[in-house]
Amino acid sequence: MCSKTADYNWETVKTEFLKEIDLKPCDGCDSCYLRCDRDIPMTREEFLNIRFYIQCECHDDICEIVCEDKRVDMGDGVYYQLCRFLDMKTHKCAVYPVRPLVCRIMGHVEWMPCPIDRISRTAPAKISLILMKTYALNERKTYEEWESMENTHDR
């Protein structure tokens, strides 16, 4: 592969990376739910995938989850706000099949290790770096920011 990031095709890089990781240990595990920050960035494509999933799947369930109080009390009057798609009762992700890349790589790259040591092998550093550099070429915003832009366009 050429070393210039701009030469990489995003879909190819993503496919190559996903071949390197085993997502099975994460299936059904919620031990890192406190990392589900409210400001998770995503590409417009990821935003559209989530929005489409919400429209097509069980809307009522997801709407209820989105309306939950996402604050976590850290003590001394300090609260940490979690992701709108995190079910605060079960600690599961309501949009798991279409969650953004950053949620998928948790535990599978060296710089975001699994907090319970359940993942024995992370993706090779070289391909992980290419993945992130290529991903970073995409514009990324939070779900709320994309939604607000789309709503402005629809007016």
Using the contact rule CB under 6 A, the part of the chain among 11-19, 30-38, 130-138, 146-154 near ligand SF4 is 30-38
Find all residues with CB under 8 Å of 126, minimum gap 6, and list them.
none
Using the contact rule CB under 6 A, the part of the chain among 10-18, 81-89, 123-131, 132-140 near ligand SF4 is 81-89
Helical pair 10-20 and 125-135, crossing angle rounded to 10 deg: 150
Q: Is 32 in the site for ligand SF4 (CB under 6 A)?
A: yes
Q: Which residue is nearest to ligand SF4 (CB)?
A: 107
Q: Is 21 in the site for ligand SF4 (CB under 6 A)?
A: no
- For the CB of residue 23, give the shortest distance to ligand SF4 in the complex, in Å: 8
Residue of 103, 105, 130, 131 that binds ligand SF4 (CB under 6 A): 103
Residue of 106, 127, 129, 132 that binds ligand SF4 (CB under 6 A): 106
C-alpha of 84 from chain center: 12
Q: Is 41 in the site for ligand SF4 (CB under 6 A)?
A: no
Kindly state the helix (H) or strand (E) to which residue 3 belongs, with its residue range: none
CB 65 within 8 A of CB 87: yes
What is the C-alpha to C-alpha distance for residues 50 and 62, in angstroms, rounded to an integer? 11
